[in-house]
Amino acid sequence: MIRLFQNELFKIFHKKGLYIIFLISILMTGLITVLNNIDLSGVIADNTNFEEQLIKEYESGNVELDEQYINAKSTMATKELIKNNDNAKKYNSPEYYFITNVIQPLYNSYYTNLYLYNDENTANMIKKQVDSKVKDLENFDWKKQINDEIEEIKTTECDNDEYCIKVNQEKLFLLNYRLENNIPYSHKDSSLSIDTYYGNYMTYLQTEKDESKYKSRDSLIEKREVEKATQTFRYKLDNKLIDDSYTDFSSQYTFVSSMGSVSIFVVVCIVLVSSSVIADEFNKGTIKQLLVRPFSRSKIIIAKLLAILTTILLFVVLVSIGQSLVSGIINHDFKTLIDPYVMYSFDSHSVIISNTLFSGLLRYACILPEIIILTLLTVLVSVLFTNNGVSTAIGIVTYAAAGILEMYVDAKPIISYIPLVNWDFSMYLFGAMPQSKYLVLSKSLYICISTAILLFIGILLFFKHKDIKNQ
Amino acid sequence: MSLVEVKNLNKKFGKKQVLHDVNFVIDEGEILGFIGPNGAGKTTTIKLMLGLQSIGSGTVTIDGHDIVKDFEKAIEGVGAIVESPDLYMYLSGRQNLQLIANYYKGITKERIDEVIKIIGLGKRIDDKVSKYSLGMRQRLGIGAAILHNPKVLILDEPTNGLDPEGIKDVRELLIRLAKKEKMAILISSHNLSELDNFVTTACIIQNGHVVSNTSVKNLKKYDSSRYKIFLDKTKGISKYIKQEHNIISDYLIEVFIEDDDVSDLLLELLNNKYKIRQVIKEEMSLEDAFIKMTGGNTID
C-alpha cells in the first residue's frame, strides 16, 4: 500500500501541469502586490488636459456654471500645487495627502462660494485659510498640523454628550499615536488603517447607541464585524503593532489568508491532479499496468486518493508560503511564522493573540472539508466518466455554485442541506455568525462528514466494478 | 503441470454473448498461440483472465489461485501486455521499470539492468518514452511484463510495431523463457506467420468459441497435405482428380490429398498421357490450418 502511494506521488510530481499552476498562482500574487504599490501621483499630476478643456468650455460663457466647474477648478489648483512641490509628487507622501485631503476641499469651498453662491466675503475668508495652508506646505511639518488639530479638539465643547466625548477622546488618542509612532496622514497603509479604524469606531459607537436598530441578522453580523475590526485594531494600536506590514498585502496576512482560502488555483489543482491520476490513466490505458499488479482495486484507489489529497494539501501550503514570500520581497517586509497575529473571539468578545503559523493552520483546518469534498467529488466523476473535460467542468461548476448558493440559503432553507454551503468552517470560527440562521455548526459537521463518506463509498464501489473497455 | 486453467468462460456485452464456454489450459514451459480473427474474443478473454473485466460465468485459475476470489495471489505470478504496451509517456524507460519494480518485493537494481539488457534498450533507457518508436515501446512493455520473473506471461499482440529483427528477438526471448524459466506463455496475434514454428499449442477462437485447441503438430495434420505437381500440360486434367485441387497454370496444379493416395493419383495421370516433371509436398502453414478451421477471416 505504501509502495502504491509512493508510486502515485512519483507520477504526480513528474507532471508539468502542477508546477505551471503553482507558478501562475505565485506570479498572480506578485502582480497584485506590485499593482498595489504603483505610485499613482505621476498620473494624477500630469493629466490636466481634461480639466483645462472643461474650464475653457465653461468660461466661454455658453454654459451655466455648476459643481462640475467647481470640481475642475479646485482639481486644477491642487494639481498646480503638486506640480510645484517635489515631495507631493509621491503618492504616499504626507504632502500629497495634505494637498488632496485638506487643501482641495478648501479650494472647493472657496470656488463654490465665489462662483455658485456669489458670496465674496465668505470666499475671501476661505481663501485666507487656503493661503495659510499653502504656506504651511512650503516647509511642510506634519507634526505641526497634527498638533493644531489636537488643540482644536481640546477646545471643542461636548456639553456632556457622551458620544461626542468618546469620539473626541478617540481622536486625541489617535493623533497622539500618530505623533508617537511617526505616522503622518498619508496614503501609506499604516495611516490608512488608522483612518479605517476611526471610521469603524464611529460606527461601533453608533451601534452601541442605537441597539434597537440592530435586530436583523444582517445588521447584527455587520455590528459584530465592526466590533471585531475595532477591537482587534485597538489592540494593535495599544501594543504598537501598527506598521505598513499590517495590510492585506503583507507577507503575514498573505500567508494566513492564503492558508484559509480555496482559491481558483486550488480548484484547478484539484481538478488537474484528480484527472491525471484517474481519468488520464484510463484514457491512456496505463491503468492496465496498475490493475494487473498484486493489489486489490480498493488498495489501488485508496492509495490514489491519499496521493491526490496529499498533493493538494501540500499545494495549498506551498502556494501560501510562496505567495507570502513574494509579498515579503515586493514590500520589503518579512514576518516570521512565530510573529504575533491578532484574531478576535466573538465568544469572549476579546482579541486572541496567536502566531502566524498557528493562525494559518487554524484557517487551513476550516477549509479542509471543502478541499476533501471537492477532491472526492472530482475523483468520483473521474472514475465514472473517465473524461478530463467532464471532471474539470463539474469541479469548477461546483466551486462556483457554492458561492452563488450561499446567497439563497435564507430564501430557500432547503439549500442549507447542500454540502457546498456548509463546507467552509471559518464561518463558525471563534463564535462567528454565519450569514444564515439555517447554518449551524453541528448540522454542517454532520452534512460534511456524511457527504464525504458517501462519496468515498461511491468511489470504492465504482472503481472496484469498473470494466476496462476494449480499445 | 497446468499453470493456467480457463474453464467455461462466458461473457456478455449487453445482450451480445461475446464468449461461449471458452476452455484451455497452459502448462509449464508451453507457448500457447491464441489465434483468431479480429473481434473473435481474444482480448476479451485475456482481460477476463487478468481481472480487467468482470467474468460472466466460468473460472480462471492461475497457479492454483482463482482470479476472482484470490486476485492478489493469482495475479502476483503473471506478467502481461494487454492491447498495447501502455506506459507513462512523460517518464523515462527506466523510471517506468522502477515504478513497476516498486510493486513487488525484492526486485533489485541489478534485475532492472538485466531486463534492460534483455530488451535491448540500453542506450535509450533514460530517454522519455514519448521519444520512443512503437517498437521500442513494445520492447519496454515486454520488459515491464517480465521484470518480476512471472510464472505466467500473457502477451496480447506483442510484436505489433516490431521490425523483423525485433520479432525474431521476441521469439527467441519467449522460447528461452519457456524452456529455461518454465514460464507458461500465452501469446495472441493475428499475424500467423509470426507464430508458426514457435508456438507449441494453437488455440483458435472464432466468434467467441474455441474451435480448435491442439498442438501445432496435430493442427497441421488436421487435414490432407498439399502437393504441387508440375506437368507438361493441365488441359482437361480435372476429370482424373477426385480430390480438391486448383489448376494454377498450364503446367502446374495444386492438390489437397492424403499422402497414401498420391501414388494412385500419379498413376492415373500417367495412364492418361500426362507427363509428370516434378512433385513437391508443401508443408501446411499455421495460416492454412487456421483458414481451414475458421473458413476465412470473417466475423459473424
The model's confidence at residue A48, banded by pLDDT at 50, 70 and 90, is low
φ and ψ of A350, to 5 deg: -150, 165
Neighbours of A456 (CB within 10 A): 17
CA distance A241 to A252: 13
Q: What is the pLDDT of residue A139?
A: 84
- Picking from A295, A302, A275, A291, the residue whose alpha carbon sits closest to that of residue B54 is A291
According to CATH, the topology of domain B225-283 is: Alpha-Beta Plaits (3.30.70)
Which residue does chain A place closest to B80, by CA atoms? A292
CA distance A58 to A68: 10
The model's confidence at residue A55, banded by pLDDT at 50, 70 and 90, is confident
Q: Is B224 helix (H, G, I), strand (E, B) or coil?
A: coil
A288–B91 CB contact, under 8 Å? no
Domain ranges in chain B are: 2-220, 225-283
Distance of CA A150 to CAs A124, A185, A187, A447, Å?
Answer: 26, 14, 21, 56
Helix, strand, coil percentages for chain A (3-state, nearest 5): 75, 5, 25
Mutation choice for B interface testing from A6, A292, A471 by most B CBs within 10 A? A292
Helix, strand, coil percentages for chain B (3-state, nearest 5): 35, 30, 35
Q: What is the pLDDT of residue A242?
A: 66
> Do the two domains B2-220 and B225-283 of this chain adopt the same fold?
no
Model confidence over B88-116: pLDDT tens digits?
999 999 999 999 999 998 899 999 999 99
Residue A413 has pLDDT above 70, yes or no: yes
Q: Which residues of A touch B73 (CB under 8 A)?
A: 294
Higher pLDDT, A365 or A250: A365
Report the pLDDT averaged over residues A310-329.
86
Model confidence over A88-107: pLDDT tens digits?
888 788 888 889 888 999 99
Which DSSP symbol is given to B200? S
Q: What is the pLDDT of residue A358?
A: 87
A237-251 burial: b if 16+ Cβ within 10 Å, else e: beeebbbbbbbebbb
Flag the least confident range among A80-94, A96-110, B24-38, B215-229.
B215-229
- Residue B76: which of A16, A289, A294 has the nearest Cβ? A294
ipTM: 0.79
CA distance B100 to B143: 10
Q: What is the pLDDT of residue B298?
A: 44
Flag the least confident range among A126-130, B15-19, B167-171.
B167-171
Model confidence over A209-244: pLDDT tens digits?
776 666 677 777 877 877 888 788 878 777 777 665
- Picking from A296, A286, A303, A292, the residue whose alpha carbon sits closest to that of residue A6 is A303
According to CATH, the topology of domain B2-220 is: Rossmann fold (3.40.50)
- Placement of cell 455658453 in the chain: A62
What percentage of chain A reaches a pLDDT higher than 70? Answer: 94
Which residue does chain A place closest to B147, by CA atoms? A293
Which residue does chain A place closest to B44, by CA atoms? A470
Distance of CA B217 to CAs A372, B190, B198, B225, Å?
Answer: 61, 19, 11, 13
φ and ψ of A260, to 5 deg: -105, 15
Model confidence over A432-451: pLDDT tens digits?
888 888 888 999 999 999 99
Domain ranges in chain A are: 2-37+258-333+353-464, 40-89+93-140, 141-186+189-243
CA distance B93 to A465: 31
Q: What is the pLDDT of residue A419?
A: 92
CA distance B177 to B174: 5
Model confidence over A298-319: pLDDT tens digits?
999 999 999 999 999 999 889 8
Flag the least confident range among A65-69, A78-82, A347-351, B244-248.
A65-69
Listed in sequence order, the residues at least 6 apart from A423 whose beta carbon sits closer than 8 Å to its beta carbon are A369, A370, A373, A402, A444, A448
The whole-angstrom distance between A302's CA and the closest CA on chain B is: 15
User: Chain centroid to CA B177: how far?
Assistant: 16
B47-78 burial: b if 16+ Cβ within 10 Å, else e: bbbbbbbebeebebbbbebebeeebeebbbbb
- Placement of cell 435564507 in the chain: A410
Q: Do B109 and B118 meet the contact criterion of CB atoms below 8 Å apart? A: no
Model confidence over A252-298: pLDDT tens digits?
777 888 888 888 888 888 888 988 899 888 888 899 989 999 999 99
Q: Using DSSP bridges, classify how beta strands B184-189 and B152-156 pair: parallel, antiparallel or unpaired.
A: parallel
CA distance B31 to B154: 10
Residue B179 has pLDDT above 60, yes or no: yes
φ and ψ of B284, to 5 deg: -75, 130
* DSSP string for residues in A328-349: HHHHT----TTSEEEEEETTTT
B47–A470 CB contact, under 8 Å? yes
The whole-angstrom distance between A7's CA and the closest CA on chain B is: 6
